[in-house]
C-alpha cells in the first residue's frame, strides 16, 4: 500500500521548522491574507520565499492556503500574491472559492490546486467536478465516513488525490461553515477570524422569564452544548489509507511549535510503523505522545459513523505535560537550555527530539548562565546549563509532567 503523505501545519517559521525537523512530508501555511487562520503570525512574501527554500532543501513540499471567501474589494490583491507564490516555487494552493480557483489557474498555472475542506466535498460527483476544473487533490469534508471515502476513491480518476484530516480540533459546523462567531463577536470564521464561541458556556433563557437562566445540565454551571471533541486517528492509519486517503492532515496552524513537533513526530512514527506492520497494533508509547500535548477529549470523528463526540460539561483542555525547556545545543559537558516553564533540580524530564523515541532523564545537575549551581529555573527564557552526557539535539523539547 502506498505510504501516505504526512501534512503538518505551520503558522510561522518556528512552527514550520518544527514540522520539517520532526518528520513532515509537506507543510501547509498561509500568507498575511486569504488563509483560514488569522490568529497565527503567518508569512510575509519574503518569509514565504524563505520557507519554500528551507522546505525544498529538505525534500518537503509547501502548500499555501488561499481558502477564505474573499469579498469584491479583495480580489485585486489576489493575482500579485498568486504570481509571487508561483515565482518562489510553492507546490500547491489550497482553495475553496471558485473565483479564486479560476484566478489561480490563470495567474499561477504551474502551481497545483487542492480543494479545501471548506468546500465540503462529500461525494464523488463533487470530487470529479473539481478535477474537471483542474484540481489535483480534494481535501474531504470532515463529516465523510471511511466507507464513503472508499466509494469516492473508486469513482474518481486515479490521478485525483484524496486528503483527509487525521488529528486536531473539530468544528461543530459542517466543514467549518459557521456564522456563530460573526454574530456573537463580529469575527468572521469564513475569513479566518473565528472566536470559537462554540467553546463558550451556555444557559437556556425562556421567553416569559428573561431574567432567569436555566442550566442545560443538572449542575450549577452551564453546558458546553457545541463543544466538539478533538479528532485522533493515529491508531487507524491503515484504515484511512485502505479507504484511499493519500494525505493525512494534522490540524493546528494556530497552535504552538511544540504542539506541531509532538504531533508530527507521533504520526511520523505511526506511519512508519504501519508501513512495516500494516496489521500491527500501534505501540502504546507512540499513542502516548498524543496525550503529551494540550488537547480536548479525543474521538474518531465521523470516520466510523455516528457523531464525532462532544464534551458538554467543560471546555478546558487536558494538559498532562508542559514544556520545561528547549535545548539550544551542547557546550562541552553541558547542554544549554532555554527555560519555558519553571522546573527544579532533580525533576524528571521527558525529552522529545527529532527521529528518536522519547526518553526520560533526571535534571540532577543544573546551573545558571554563570555556571553557578541552582535549585530551580523560575524565570522565563532564562539560560540553564544541564550537565549530562546524554546526546540531545538542538531544538529538542524537555517536558515535565504537571502536578494534578
Instruction: Tell me: do 293 and 332 sit in the same domain.
Output: no
Q: Name the domain boundary from 299, 331, 347.
A: 299
- pLDDT tens-digit readout, 91-121: 999 999 999 999 999 999 999 999 999 899 9
Asked if 169 and 105 sit in the same domain, the reply is: yes
Burial annotation 112-121 (CB, 10 A radius, 16+ → b, else e): bbbbbbbbbb
Integer Cα distance of 298 and 112 in angstroms: 33
Residue 112's alpha-carbon distances to 68, 221, 236, 291, 367, in angstroms, are 18, 49, 28, 35, 51
Q: What is the pLDDT of residues 129-145, one digit of tens each?
A: 999 999 999 999 998 99
Report the alpha-carbon distance of residue 13 to residue 91 in Å, rounded: 17
Same-domain pairing of 280 and 368: no
pTM attached to this predicted model: 0.87
376/237 same-domain check: no
Query: What is residue 68's predicted lDDT score, i.e. its pLDDT?
Result: 84
Output 98-103 pairs: Cβ under 8 A, ≥24 positions apart: 98/133, 99/70, 99/75, 100/34, 100/66, 100/70, 101/133, 101/134, 101/135, 103/75, 103/78, 103/79
Work out the pLDDT band at 203, boundaries 50, 70, 90: confident
Are 104 and 75 a contacting pair, CB within 8 Å?
Answer: no
CATH of the domain at 144: 3.20.20.70
In a domain, 187, yes or no: no
Tell me whether residue 124 is in a domain: yes
Same domain for 244 and 352? no
Question: Would residue 71 count as lying in a domain?
Answer: yes
Q: How many domains does the chain have?
A: 2
Residue 330: give the domain boundaries.
Answer: 321-401
- For residues 98 and 14, membership in a common domain is answered with yes
What's the CATH number where 361 sits?
2.40.30.10
Residues 266 and 376 in one domain: no
Q: Is residue 40 domain-shared with residue 118, that is, in the same domain?
A: yes
Residues 233 and 180: their CA atoms lie apart, in Å, by 28
Assess if residue 221 is contained within a domain.
no
For residues 284 and 337, state if they share a domain.
no
CB 333 within 8 A of CB 347: no
Q: Do 134 and 282 fall into the same domain?
A: yes
Q: Please tell me whether residues 146 and 21 are part of one structural domain.
A: yes
The Cα diameter of the chain in Å comes to: 74
| Assigned domain for 224 exists | no
Q: Which three cell numbers stand for residue 398?
A: 524537555
In a domain, 115, yes or no: yes
Q: What residues pair up with 367 in beta bridges, in sequence order?
A: 373, 385
Q: Are residues 276 and 331 in the same domain?
A: no
Write out pLDDT tens, residues 260-316: 999 999 999 999 999 999 999 999 999 999 999 988 888 898 899 876 676 655 666
Amino acid at each position: 500500500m502506498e505510504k501516505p503523505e504526512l501534512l503538518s501545519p505551520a503558522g510561522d517559521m518556528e512552527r514550520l521548522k518544527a514540522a520539517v525537523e520532526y518528520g513532515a512530508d509537506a507543510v501547509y501555511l498561509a500568507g498575511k491574507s486569504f488563509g483560514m487562520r488569522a490568529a497565527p503570525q503567518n508569512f510575509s512574501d519574503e518569509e514565504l520565499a524563505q520557507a519554500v527554500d528551507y522546505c525544498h532543501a529538505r525534500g518537503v513540499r509547501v502548500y499555501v492556503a488561499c481558502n477564505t471567501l474573499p469579498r469584491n474589494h479583495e480580489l485585486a490583491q489576489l493575482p500579485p500574491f498568486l504570481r509571487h507564490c508561483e515565482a518562489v516555487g510553492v507546490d500547491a494552493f489550497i482553495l475553496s472559492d471558485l473565483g479564486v480557483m479560476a484566478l489561480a489557474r490563470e495567474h499561477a498555472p504551474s502551481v497545483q490546486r487542492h480543494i479545501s475542506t471548506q468546500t465540503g466535498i462529500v461525494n464523488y460527483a463533487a470530487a470529479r467536478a473539481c478535477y474537471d476544473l483542474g484540481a489535483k487533490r480534494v481535501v474531504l469534508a470532515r463529516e465523510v465516513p471511511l466507507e464513503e471515502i472508499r466509494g469516492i476513491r473508486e469513482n474518481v480518476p486515479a490521478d485525483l488525490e484524496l486528503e483527509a484530516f487525521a488529528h486536531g480540533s473539530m468544528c461543530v459546523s459542517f466543514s467549518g461553515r459557521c456564522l456563530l462567531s460573526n454574530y456573537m463577536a463580529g469575527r468572521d470564521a469564513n475569513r479566518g477570524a473565528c472566536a470559537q464561541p462554540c467553546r463558550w458556556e451556555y444557559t437556556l433563557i425562556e421567553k416569559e422569564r428573561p431574567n432567569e437562566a436555566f442550566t442545560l445540565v443538572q449542575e450549577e454551571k452551564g453546558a458546553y452544548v457545541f463543544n466538539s471533541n478533538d479528532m485522533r486517528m493515529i491508531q487507524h492509519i491503515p484504515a484511512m489509507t485502505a479507504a484511499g486517503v493519500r494525505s493525512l492532515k494534522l490540524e493546528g496552524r494556530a497552535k504552538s511549535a511544540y504542539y506541531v513537533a509532538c504531533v508530527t513526530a507521533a504520526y511520523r512514527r505511526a506511519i512508519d510503523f504501519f508501513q512495516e506492520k500494516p496489521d500491527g497494533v500501534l505501540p502504546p508509547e507512540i499513542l502516548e505522545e498524543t496525550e503529551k500535548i494540550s488537547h480536548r477529549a479525543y474521538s474518531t470523528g465521523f470516520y466510523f459513523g455516528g457523531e464525532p463526540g462532544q464534551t458538554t460539561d467543560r471546555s478546558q483542555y487536558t494538559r498532562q505535560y508542559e514544556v520545561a525547556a528547549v535545548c539550544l545545543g551542547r557546550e562541552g559537558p553541558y547542554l544549554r537550555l532555554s527555560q519555558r516553564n519553571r522546573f527544579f533540580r532533580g525533576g524528571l524530564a521527558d525529552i522529545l527530539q527529532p527521529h528518536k523515541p522519547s526518553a526520560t532523564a533526571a535534571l540532577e545537575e543544573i546551573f545558571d548562565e554563570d555556571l553557578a549551581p541552582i535549585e530551580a529555573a523560575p524565570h522565563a527564557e532564562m539560560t540553564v546549563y544541564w550537565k549530562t552526557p546524554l546526546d540531545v539535539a538542538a531544538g529538542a523539547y524537555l517536558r515535565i509532567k504537571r502536578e494534578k
